[in-house]
Amino acid sequence: MNPQDYSHVDVCQRALTDENVFNNFKRDSNYCSVLEHVTVTLARKYFELLKERFGSVISKINWVLIKENDSIGNPVTAEFSTELKSYVALSNYKFSPSIFRYVYTGLDIIDKYLRKVTGSTVIDLYNDNLQHHIEIDIVEIGGGYGGQAKILFDLLANTGLTIRTYTIIDLCYVSQLQNKILTKLCYDKMKYMTYDMIVNLELDTLLPHYDLLISNYGLGELRIEIIEKYLETVVKRCQHYYIIYNGRTIHSYFINDKNQSEPDKNCL
Ligand SMILES: C[S@@+](CC[C@H](N)C(=O)[O-])C[C@H]1O[C@@H](n2cnc3c(N)ncnc32)[C@H](O)[C@@H]1O
């Protein structure tokens, strides 16, 4: 990501103190150039993927809790009754398209993590078929407004997989906005860190070990020297990685080489 791509930071800064900006930030064109730009067509494709891979889970998801994500920042919403009506009864089916990306990606993260660590699937999880209760610590680099974090907590509510702590690292004002939103929505297992803390090696908030690193359209798109700073400070503490990146070759550290010499270097 280049500095000119950071138009959302100014919106985040203003949303911290100006309630009018906070109440509408998901409609701000500067914000939408970086985040909250999933189209309805793309959302429908995510729903198709949801049906294909996790069809039996859709009716078990708490869509009311997930919909709460749209109560923040006044996102543009669209009608998804054709998709959802046969799975769940809701008072209305208007959702922001981004929610479908977060739900699909969230289930994909959980499914890949469970397969890797326990051999079970997200379907086993929702059918209460995990052998043991699992608790995990997650760190996310570049968390937007915290939407993926919120929806992961919602997808895992009352299941056999619990998030013990969830740390998000982001730019200063973006991080403060994440804190404002997720505190308002009562997610209390969060820790927030800024990129400046990483650069200045103020690492006391970091845990010595994370079960899972998530970075979607984040780490993979940063400049190489920033990625390397994260490798030294954060990534080396993480056992498993889930990274989505666009248009760029991922750093060789993350290439899932079957002959790798480090046995605990695991891309999901
Ligand atoms: C395209 S957004 C993706 C957000 C989120 N992962 C999602 O899927 O909705 C990129 C995120 O990376 C953050 N970011 C940019 N530079 C960063 C840095 N040096 N360290 C951590 N996060 C950074 C941005 O503020 C933003 O939250």
- Nearest atom in ligand 1 to 147's CA: 9
**What φ, ψ does residue 168 adopt, rounded to 5°?**
-115, 130
pLDDT at 64: 97
Assign 268 a pLDDT band (cuts: 50, 70, 90).
confident
- Choice between 262 and 244, residue whose per-residue pLDDT is larger: 244
Residues in CB range of 135: below 8 A, 6 or more apart: 161, 162, 163, 164
Residue 263 pLDDT > 70, yes or no?
no
Interval between CA 200 and ligand 1 midpoint (Å): 19
pTM for the model: 0.94
Interval between CA 221 and ligand 1 midpoint (Å): 9
Residue 258 pLDDT > 70, yes or no?
no
Q: pLDDT (tens digit, 9 = 90+) per residue, 88-110?
A: 999 999 999 999 999 999 999 99
pLDDT at 81: 97
Residue 257 pLDDT > 90, yes or no?
no
Assign 47 a pLDDT band (cuts: 50, 70, 90).
very high
Q: For a substitution probing ligand 1, which of 37, 105, 139, 171 has the most ligand atoms within 8 Å of its CB?
A: 171
pLDDT at 260: 45
Rounded mean pLDDT of the chain? Answer: 92
Average pLDDT over every residue of 47-74:
97
Residue 255 pLDDT > 90, yes or no?
no
Q: pLDDT (tens digit, 9 = 90+) per residue, 123-137?
A: 999 999 998 999 999
Interval between CA 15 and ligand 1 midpoint (Å): 17
Residue of the CA atom closest to atom 16 of ligand 1:
171
Amino acid identity at 138: I
pLDDT at 253: 87
Residues in CB range of 204: below 8 A, 6 or more apart: none
Residues 231 and 260 sit within 8 Å (Cβ to Cβ): no
Q: Which domains does the chain have, with CATH numbers?
A: 3-267 (3.40.50.150)
Average pLDDT over every residue of 164-191:
97
Average pLDDT over every residue of 77-83:
97
Describe the crossing of helices 147-156 and 98-117 by its angle, rounded to 10 degrees: 60
Amino acid identity at 68: E
Amino acid identity at 257: D
What Cα–Cα distance (Å) separates residue 197 from each residue in 6, 27, 178, 194, 224? Answer: 19, 30, 16, 5, 18
Average pLDDT over every residue of 151-177:
97
- Choice between 196 and 6, residue whose per-residue pLDDT is larger: 196
Residue of 34, 107, 41, 99 whose CA lies nearest to 70 = 99
- Choice between 136 and 260, residue whose per-residue pLDDT is larger: 136
Residue 178 pLDDT > 80, yes or no?
yes
Assign 261 a pLDDT band (cuts: 50, 70, 90).
very low
Pocket of ligand 1 (CB under 6 A): 1, 34-35, 141-144, 147-148, 169-171, 174, 195, 216-218, 222, 226
Residue of the CA atom closest to atom 9 of ligand 1:
144
State the Cα–Cα distance between residues 236 and 264, nearest whole angstrom.
10
Residue 7 pLDDT > 90, yes or no?
no
Assign 5 a pLDDT band (cuts: 50, 70, 90).
low
Residue of the CA atom closest to atom 4 of ligand 1:
144
